[in-house]
Structure 1
Amino acid sequence: MSAYAAKGKAFERDMRYVPDRITREDGRSQDPHVGTLDVPTWPVEPGRYRLVAARACPWANRAIIVRTLLGLENVVSLGLAGPTHDQRSWRFDLDPGGVDPVLRYERLEQAYLARDPSYDRGVTVPAMVDVPTRSLVTNDFPAITHDLFFEWRDHHRPDAPDLWPDECREEMDEVMEKVFTEVNNGVYRCGFARTQEAYGAAYDRLWSAMDWLEERLTDRRYLMGDRITEADVRLFTTLARFDAVYHGHFKCNRNKLSEMPVLWAYARDLFQTPGFGETIDFDQIKQHYYVVHEDINPTGIVPKGPDESGWHAPHGRERLGSPQARRSA
């Protein structure tokens, strides 16, 4: 899924994903900012597709959260891979017999090879799989959550949140781009740096963005104001892993998330919102990073901490805005 740039040994993420999309109309997105797509498209059809994810992975965690917030649990089924994988593939080792009960696969790789027998890139989650053919549709993680909102609207829960409000779309796109490049990917840039110089540059970029977020969220409840949007989902999955993994394992250790008053309260606010906290499994998260990344943690020892109880402490951010997008558990 990732590669290292030759110059300076800095981390670069391989963003070459299978580009297919699932749309309401053939070749045309329901997002007015997108219009006609120039990639292969598949029809929206309840029950046809299976979202394969892993609770350990932040990119897959996004899709799990969005599916839950929009009420698509009975429309798009969910398959969960275990927290660790080898060089070949994520495995369905959480299921009885180590086999996904719907796809009847032991490895997600099998769905990729059913789509393209010569596929030779990373087998990544999240992935949308066509159940009738048991083959991959797409693993383009930003497009998956985008399309769950725009293309599956006819099947959303009646009180589903507006995760992509049009009135702030331009600013939201800019915020999400900064969150992705500087924070979501920024922690990996620190963790996988191969020289002191590359690490130092990555570290400075990350903490500049974290300070920017701390300031931005001082007087607004969520990134775009008084309601939860896709931007919050994308930031949350990194914050949820910060103290448990990124602070130590990825050497993002200027301070802990729990030592940043605003960001820590913001993260707890989201964690306590139905659809967010229940998707987090700290044990699986730690197993994934500390076991899979043998080059960073050759002993494979998984830390026992940190204490998770703080996530349930009062956050006090109700005073900043309406709790839109909340629902009863």
Structure 2
Amino acid sequence: MSTTVGNSPYAESSGSFTRRGPRFTDRIVASPSSEQEWQAEPGRYRLVASLACPWAHRSVIVRRLMGLEDAISLAIVDPLQDDRSWRFSLDEDGRDPVLGYRYLSEAYLARDPENGTENGVSVPAIVEESTGRLVTNDYPQITVDLGIEWAKYQRPGAPMLYPEELREEIDAVNEGVFHDVNNGVYKAGFATKQARYEEAYTALFARLDELDERLADRRYLVGDHITEADIRLFTTLVRFDAVYHGHFKCNRQKLAEFGNLWPYARDLYQTPGFGDTVDFDHVKRHYHQVHTSINPTQIVPLGPEPSVWLEPHRREGLGGTPFGPDGTPPEPLDAPLRPLPPLEG
């Protein structure tokens, strides 16, 4: 989601980091009933995501779990940004082959020529292919709608990620995870006063301790299979030791030192749709080379060793199945989503 180049633009005078919410909150639904709702149609939309960004990573996971690859095309932006934010410089001639844009900001300005970028340029973003206009950057709603509103185009065996009978519990878990974990690492990392950093740090680890205890006797956060709650937590956990522990000073302990969160995270990583959408190279380059106020040398650390994510997790004995009683895994990916060239220098 971040649009940051160098210093965070969201640090208040109090020293706190405050995340801006999505500005464009239209929805893509099965049966539109207002001007803010768009028709779900295969071949009409392009999902623009960064493999570095945890907020965008959610949508990549859900698109894959639901088997929507043929219905919604995917564009992967460069993990490095310049002063115009997310760019398509990994593509031939530096242009997205479908939209023809060099920068995602062009889709924002196609939607609102005067004020389209005033609240930043964030991912994930869904763009209408025929017009090049941004439809939505509402990252919490995008994944929910991909799981529900696109049911007609989902693969057989796709999981129910937001079942009605569990929504109240999922929402409650997500609320705490968002404030203290997903956003909490940013509040710690971008704090500009010691007291604000310590507040975020304390809340983060209190919530992680609570989640670690919750996962002692259950395989997933809510219910017996993967839900929205697991996806939202996973994208922060998978980045924790690689960037948040050191880069954002969230260093009471590593994820690998939690008794339940660590095997839980490995369980998800080894589930099709999760680990095969993770790119630690994108992740580390973005955080360590874009946040120059935190890492002015832009040196990218070599570790941790990714192979530890493939160690046995032994959580099958807790019961439950990843995709539900009638669900099946998505087909294997043919190739990585978007590899990067070797580091220079």
Q: Indicate the residue corresponding to 2:246 in structure 1.
A: 248
Which stretch of the first structure deviates more once superposed, 184-193 or 16-25? Answer: 16-25
Structure 2 SS opposite 1:228: coil
User: Matches of 1:266 and 1:176 in 2, distance apart?
Assistant: 17
Structure 2 SS opposite 1:137: strand
User: Matches of 2:287 and 2:159 in 1, distance apart?
Assistant: 32
* TM-superposition CA deviations, 1:68-122 (whole Å, max 9, x none): 0000000000011011112312011111121111111111111111111112221
User: Matches of 1:58 and 1:10 in 2, distance apart?
Assistant: 20
The two structures have a TM-score, normalised by structure 2, of: 0.90
Q: Indicate the residue corresponding to 2:113 in structure 1.
A: 117
CA shift, 1:5, in A, is: 2.7
Q: Does 1:52 align with 2:59?
A: no
User: Matches of 1:59 and 1:151 in 2, distance apart?
Assistant: 20
CA shift, 1:169, in A, is: 1.3
The question of whether the paired residues in 2 share the 8 Å contact of 1:53 and 1:125 is answered with yes
Structure 2 SS opposite 1:51: strand
CA shift, 1:290, in A, is: 0.4
CA shift, 1:41, in A, is: 1.2
The question of whether the paired residues in 1 share the 8 Å contact of 2:22 and 2:139 is answered with no
Q: Indicate the residue corresponding to 1:258 in structure 2.
A: 256
TM-aligned CA distance change 1:61 to 1:16, over 3 Å: closer
The question of whether the paired residues in 2 share the 8 Å contact of 1:226 and 1:320 is answered with no
Q: Does 1:84 align with 2:42?
A: no
Which stretch of the first structure deviates more once superposed, 268-277 or 165-174? Answer: 165-174
User: Matches of 1:261 and 1:86 in 2, distance apart?
Assistant: 40
Q: Indicate the residue corresponding to 1:218 in structure 2.
A: 216
Q: Does 1:12 align with 2:18?
A: yes
The correspondence of residues 240-319 of structure 1 with structure 2, limited to 5 A, is 240-319=238-317
User: Matches of 1:176 and 1:311 in 2, distance apart?
Assistant: 24
User: Matches of 1:87 and 1:96 in 2, distance apart?
Assistant: 21
Q: Indicate the residue corresponding to 1:198 in structure 2.
A: 196
Match of 1:97 among 86, 93, 115: 93
The question of whether the paired residues in 1 share the 8 Å contact of 2:125 and 2:136 is answered with yes
Q: Indicate the residue corresponding to 2:338 in structure 1.
A: none
Q: Indicate the residue corresponding to 2:342 in structure 1.
A: none
Number of residue pairs the alignment of both structures matches: 318
- Alignment-mate amino acid for residue 87 of structure 2: R
Q: Indicate the residue corresponding to 1:72 in structure 2.
A: 68
The question of whether the paired residues in 2 share the 8 Å contact of 1:71 and 1:160 is answered with yes
Provide structure 2 residue ranges, at least 5 long, that are not aligned to the other structure. Answer: 4-8, 333-345
TM-aligned CA distance change 1:156 to 1:16, over 3 Å: closer
Give the share of equivalent positions with the same residue, in percent.
Answer: 57
Provide structure 1 residue ranges, at least 5 long, that are not aligned to the other structure. Answer: 28-36
Structure 2 SS opposite 1:9: coil
- Alignment-mate amino acid for residue 85 of structure 1: Q
Match of 1:169 among 167, 178, 201: 167
- Alignment-mate amino acid for residue 4 of structure 1: A
Moved over 4 A (4+): none
CA shift, 1:309, in A, is: 1.0
User: Matches of 2:233 and 2:166 in 1, distance apart?
Assistant: 17
User: Matches of 1:121 and 1:178 in 2, distance apart?
Assistant: 25
* TM-superposition CA deviations, 1:222-255 (whole Å, max 9, x none): 0013200011000000000000000000000000
User: Matches of 2:167 and 2:135 in 1, distance apart?
Assistant: 27
User: Matches of 2:256 and 2:59 in 1, distance apart?
Assistant: 25
The correspondence of residues 135-174 of structure 1 with structure 2, limited to 5 A, is 135-174=133-172
User: Matches of 1:86 and 1:211 in 2, distance apart?
Assistant: 37
The question of whether the paired residues in 2 share the 8 Å contact of 1:19 and 1:139 is answered with yes
* TM-superposition CA deviations, 1:257-314 (whole Å, max 9, x none): 0011210000000000000001100011000000110111111111111111110000
Which stretch of the first structure deviates more once superposed, 318-327 or 222-231? Answer: 318-327
Structure 2 SS opposite 1:248: helix
Structure 1 SS opposite 2:246: coil
- Alignment-mate amino acid for residue 14 of structure 1: R
Q: Indicate the residue corresponding to 2:337 in structure 1.
A: none
The two structures have a TM-score, normalised by structure 1, of: 0.94
The question of whether the paired residues in 2 share the 8 Å contact of 1:225 and 1:321 is answered with no
* TM-superposition CA deviations, 1:119-149 (whole Å, max 9, x none): 2221110000000101100111011111111
User: Matches of 2:83 and 2:143 in 1, distance apart?
Assistant: 26
The question of whether the paired residues in 2 share the 8 Å contact of 1:49 and 1:77 is answered with yes
User: Matches of 1:166 and 1:110 in 2, distance apart?
Assistant: 37
